[in-house]
Amino acid sequence: MTGASILVTGATGFIGHQLCRTLVESGKRVRGLVRGPVTLPPGVEPAECTDLLDRDAIRSALQGVNAVVHLAARVHVMADRSADPLTEYRRTNVEGTRILLEESLAAGVRKLVLLSSVKAVGEATAVAWNEETPPAPTDPYGISKLEAERLVHELTAHSALAACVLRLPLVYGPGVRANMLRLFQLVDRGVPLPLGRVHNRRSLAYVGNVVAAIEAVMASPAAAGHTFFVSDSRALSTPDLIRAIARALGRPARLLPVPEGFLRAARLVPAGRAAADRLLGSLVVDSSKLTRITGFSPPYDVERGLRLTARWYRERSAGRR
């Protein structure tokens, strides 16, 4: 792919920004699809598109492009207040993907990677999921991502466009927001967390591993037509994650040994049932198929990923003083 032009949708997002920077550093010509005037990593050409359903803007952005990484999406939120969330998710995540696929096929794009989510399969695992696990999404976001995955495979199955799907668990790293950032803040402030007796396991993915996985499938002809889970090399329990964050921050892990059943019954986990399920429940994926087919191996272990995240967190905190 050296010298080829790559379009990254969602280029200003958490993963997109990291991907664009890495691709430019490796000598690729990169175009970033953005909603308006923004700051992109040096060397990234902006292509403005205020709506993924704008065919003309998508067609223009695809001129001279050999590969597409599709990150742009209506993202999952904890409390969606839309009157019809599924319709809203489908508009962007399914119909937007359809238009991008159709225009990519018309433009002669050779490779496409769709970034999806474990939510396309469900919310919790009794055993590790793999790509053969029957999908059973439980919310509008997950339903829309599964429909987008199927659309990618249906529209490219008998075409010259080599497409694949990457399903991501919770992604962390420099620039992270939402729940993981909140967890860093709580640990940094020394807030006692009643999670010491939680016995779950959850897969995570450091953003550098996600970027490396994208590069791996783009470089591998064997990846075409496949769906892959992406994750770090090992899953962690919530208490082990908190301990690892504490080590990365140089703080003590203040874990209280409260029984899990009591946590649920007494509703001691803030932010509602969904947040409790994420902190207390298990969600483990088996990402060995990606290794088997492409030779990919995550370049970052969990400890290094959390150390790099902690460094960014410290720099962010210092800049806000």
From residue 53, alpha-carbon distances to 35, 109, 182 in Å are 12, 19, 33
Measured CA to CA, the distance from residue 21 to residue 160 in angstroms comes to 28
Is there a catalytic annotation at residue 141? yes
Q: What is the CA radius of gyration of the chain?
A: 20
Quick count: other Cβ atoms within 10 Å of Cβ 22? Answer: 18
Return the residue matching tokens 């599924």: 86
| Spatial separation of the C-alpha atoms in residues 159 and 225, rounded to whole Å | 11
Identity of the amino acid at 211: V
Q: Name the catalytic one among 89, 141, 300, 313.
A: 141
Place of tokens 């803030």: 270
**Are β-strands 29-34 and 44-48 bridged in parallel, bridged antiparallel, or unpaired?**
parallel
Q: Which helix (H) or strand (E) holds 228?
A: strand 227-229
- Which helix (H) or strand (E) is 107 found in, with range? helix 96-107
- Determine the Cα–Cα distance for residues 102 and 67; give it in Å rounded to an integer: 14
Active-site residue list: 141
